[in-house]
Amino acid sequence: MTTGRPFVFAHRGGADALPEHTLAAYLRALDDGADGVECDVRLTRDGHLVCVHDRRLNRTSNGTGLVSTKTLAELEELDFGSWHAGAGELPPDHLRLLTLDRLLTVLRDYGRPVRLLIETKHPSRYGAEVERRLVEMLRKFDLAEPVAGDPLHVTVMSFAALALRRIRALAPALPTVYLLEIPPPGVSRGRLPFGARIAGPGISLVRSRPTLIRNFQAAGHQTYVWTVNEEPDLDLVLSQGIDGIISDRPRFVIDRLNSA
């Protein structure tokens, strides 16, 4: 069990206040005091890693179709922010597509140490290409082998054990989170696959399995829980001594931790 204050991560950059995965959202969350941010990555047709959650563009941009069938240049033409009520008067260039390259640059230079959770989506659809390009990019930023005191600490997350296996093969020192919705029996007893250091259960799983976090703790794993947006869920995870809280409402979590 953690003895300290849990890390607060802004889910998709803090999807409640501002449009998810925009630079505006990531910067707001950090300015509000989040320890880090969570980012989903996908590959464009021409092989660039971009911060987009959905397979399709329709929900979070004025484009249509699959992210994977568009080039980076095509995606950069789109508006990823105006659909959201919080977009307001924010600078238009903070509401465009965000590449992982740009996000890493901004976070590394933010001015205080920050953490980034990178979730790779759909390892089977892209072959091993997402993980290969991700590790290549982290090496470019000298982030594949974390060292204490780094201005940016990266952890890779996936629901797919296959992705964790690939990351371990490509970059054994990179910490990983095994995300869980319905865990296989061995995992429920605390065993994580392919060297994952951290368990990442969804909040509905934590609600329904009162012993789950204790099992991970007994096995020596940290636990990061997603997506914790409401008071009762926050009470629950805090009472269990978790290590990281992933929330669409990081400000709400930080205020609560500060008032404790």
Catalytic residues: 11, 53
What letter would DSSP give residue 13? G
The nearest distance, CB 6 to ligand G3P, in angstroms, is 14
Give the Cα-Cα-Cα angle 139, 22, 5 (nearest 5 degrees): 70
Report which of 11, 68, 25 is spatially closest to residue 43, judged by C-alpha positions: 68
Residue 40 in contact with ligand G3P, rule: CB under 6 A: yes
> Residue 252 in 3-state DSSP?
helix
Q: Using the minimum distance from each CB to ligand G3P, give the nearer residue, 81 or 201.
A: 201
Cα separation, 194 vs 192, in Å, equals 7
Bridge partners (DSSP) of residue 199 are 178, 223
Report which of 35, 46, 52 is spatially closest to residue 69, judged by C-alpha positions: 46
Torsion 214-216-219-224 (CA) sign: negative
| From candidates 16, 32, 35, 119, binder to ligand G3P by CB under 6 A | 119
The nearest distance, CB 48 to ligand G3P, in angstroms, is 19
Select from ligand G3P, Ca ion, none the partner in contact with residue 243, using the beta carbon and a kind-dependent cut-off of 5 to 8 Å. none
Residue 179 in contact with ligand G3P, rule: CB under 6 A: yes
Bridge partners (DSSP) of residue 43 are 49
Question: Per-residue x/- marks for ligand G3P, 187-226, CB under 6 A?
Answer: ---------------------------------------x
Size of the site for Ca ion (CB under 5 A): 2
Give the Cα-Cα-Cα angle 97, 152, 250 (nearest 5 degrees): 65
The nearest distance, CB 218 to Ca ion, in angstroms, is 27
| From candidates 32, 35, 40, 233, binder to Ca ion by CB under 5 A | 40
Q: Using the minimum distance from each CB to ligand G3P, give the nearer residue, 58 or 71.
A: 58
Give the orientation angle of helix 161-170 with respect to helix 129-140, to 10 degrees: 40
The nearest distance, CB 119 to Ca ion, in angstroms, is 4
The neighbour count for residue 152, using CB atoms within 10 Å, is 22
Select from ligand G3P, Ca ion, none the partner in contact with residue 96, using the beta carbon and a kind-dependent cut-off of 5 to 8 Å. none
Q: Which residues, 110 to 139, sit near Ca ion by CB under 5 A? A: 119
| From candidates 95, 246, 253, 254, binder to ligand G3P by CB under 6 A | 246
